[in-house]
Amino acid sequence: MSGNLYMPIVRMEKNIYDSLRRKIKKMIDAELSKPSSHSGHMVTTQSATSISMLPNESIDYIYTDPPFGANIIYSEMNLILEGWLKVKTNSSPEAIIDETKSKSFKEYGSLMRSSFEECYRVLKPGKWITVEFHNTQAAIWNLIQTSLAEAGFIIAQICRLDKGSTTILADIRPGAVVQDLLISAYKPSAEFISLFESEGVGVVGVWEFVRNYLAHIPIFKPQENKAVYLSERNPRILFDQMVAFYVRKGLPVPVSNQEFQEGLRQRFSERDGMFFLCEQTIEYDKRRLAFDKDDQLFLPFVDEATAIEWLRGTLNQKPQSLRELHPQFIEKLGGWSKNEQSLELLELLEQNFLCYKGDEPVPEQIHAYLSSNWKELRNLPKDSSRLIEKALDRWYVPDPKKGINLEKMREKSLIREFESYRKANRKLKVFRLEAVRAGFRKAWQEKDYATIIAVAEKIPQNVLEEDSMLSMWYDHSLTRHGY
């Protein structure tokens, strides 16, 4: 197990001929059960970086389980068998991370990208690849996702694989990974790719990408009798996915974050803070009815971005005062990243939401909530003194037009913060990740690759590796800057 040779806790002798018979039977059963139109099966051993016998766009589906970084040094596991056979494995192209063989994170990533590029070549347009992965390191996990995207795939969903049983290793070793993760990604259609290969695709391509992406990701996901928030449909994630696609295509991003958010709300339907194609909302609404409508969808809370999304979902359901929000917010703070600068609740609210102070009629968002939950407040005009008194000091999600203005102010604040990081003559241990993202995005638009590289080298390596957007800006900046 894991490259170690020792006397195990559980021992069992296996008859190699029994194993061989089982394998042969499986192959025979597969051959007998194939459709009459199927031409047969192929079993082959070679490098995944060069699947030479398969022609372009010839495969309908790929399921792959790649090497897991430094988890297992595969070639060394064979030493006793190779000693018996007197044949030694050529381990030089082995896709692992092993310092003793000078195989680093970078070399491993390069082999993963080459393998996924071959998968992309042989897969038919519009078809899917599923990658099973088993590693506790976020950097390795992020590298696999990045390699898939750089090969041309668009990641549609990430979920857990329940194998129904655990391994002996998972049972006896604290911290061992119990479940594998599955990445589902698709190869875009030929028509979609040709749109981006034509010159002057501009803003048309932005909304075509979003439509195509929304059509591929899940519409609804229940978990333990609760409806789960689908982060893939989050407006921030949609923007990041679109930007990443344009950058990897070598195209300028034609819209700002503010323009994207406004256009998103004009073209697509919003439900529970998620966006859908118009035809998808019917299915979502139907399935959502089976769950308590007052329950906020489950949303992990780990940094500034997810804190904002949590607040948005909470205030969409119920405009609340700072006093009401504070205990809920404190309860969520346990998983905050150690490198992420923690912000006070009031600062998050002031930068992203509005507070009603009674100097105008009660906003529709607060009016709708109050009139739905207090009978005595129903049918009152929005400038009613009773309604105003009940609405005072409640924070609420602004309408799109006011939201755009808030977003612009927040963006300026983030860029000012990023400027302080750029000028700092020290390593950055604690910082606002959102400020770094905003600064990298602005620098990329201005083709200021040197700034991206300089700031990236000030932040911890693990943060850079574990954030797919930051690592993308950095890697592409290195290429453009001639490193």
First-to-last alpha carbon distance for the chain, in angstroms, is 40
Portion of the chain with pLDDT greater than 70, in percent: 86
- How far CA 73 is from CA of 68, 98, 116, 179, in Å, comes to 9, 8, 21, 20
**pLDDT at 379 > cutoff 80:** yes
Q: What is the pLDDT of residue 2?
A: 62
Distance between CA atoms of residues 271 and 230, nearest Å? 11
Domains of the chain, CATH where assigned: 40-187 (3.40.50), 199-298 (no CATH), 410-483 (no CATH)
Sign of CA dihedral 70, 71, 76, 78: negative
Residue 190 banded pLDDT, cuts 50, 70, 90: confident
pLDDT in tens, 96-121: 887 777 777 788 888 889 999 999 99
Q: CA nearest 58: which of 4, 15, 12, 121?
A: 121
The packing angle between helices 449-456 and 400-423, to 10°, is: 70
Cα 72 from Cα 17, distance rounded (Å): 26
* Whole-model pTM over 0.75: no
Q: Which residue has the higher pLDDT, 39 or 84?
A: 84
Residue with tokens 């399921």: 63
| Per-residue pLDDT reduced to its tens digit, 467-478 | 778 888 888 888
Lowest mean pLDDT among 379-383, 452-456, 468-472: 468-472
- Average per-residue pLDDT in the chain? 82
**DSSP secondary-structure letter at 175?**
T
Determine the pLDDT at residue 300.
55
- Mark 127-165 as b/e (b = at least 16 C-beta within 10 Å): ebbebebbbebebbbbbbbbbbbbbbbbbbbbeeeeeee
Three-state DSSP at 261 gives: helix
> Nearest 10 degrees: CA dihedral of 134, 135, 138, 141?
-40
Label residue 483 by pLDDT band (50, 70, 90). Answer: low
pLDDT 10s digits, 197-255: 775 567 888 999 999 999 998 898 877 777 777 878 888 889 888 988 888 887 888 88
Q: Give mean pLDDT, residues 406-429.
A: 90
**For the residues 71-88, what does the mean pLDDT come to?**
81
* Sequence-ordered alpha helix ranges (H) in 218-303: 235-248, 257-267, 278-288
Going by pLDDT thresholds of 50, 70 and 90, the confidence category of residue 40 is low
Span 123-147, mean pLDDT? 81
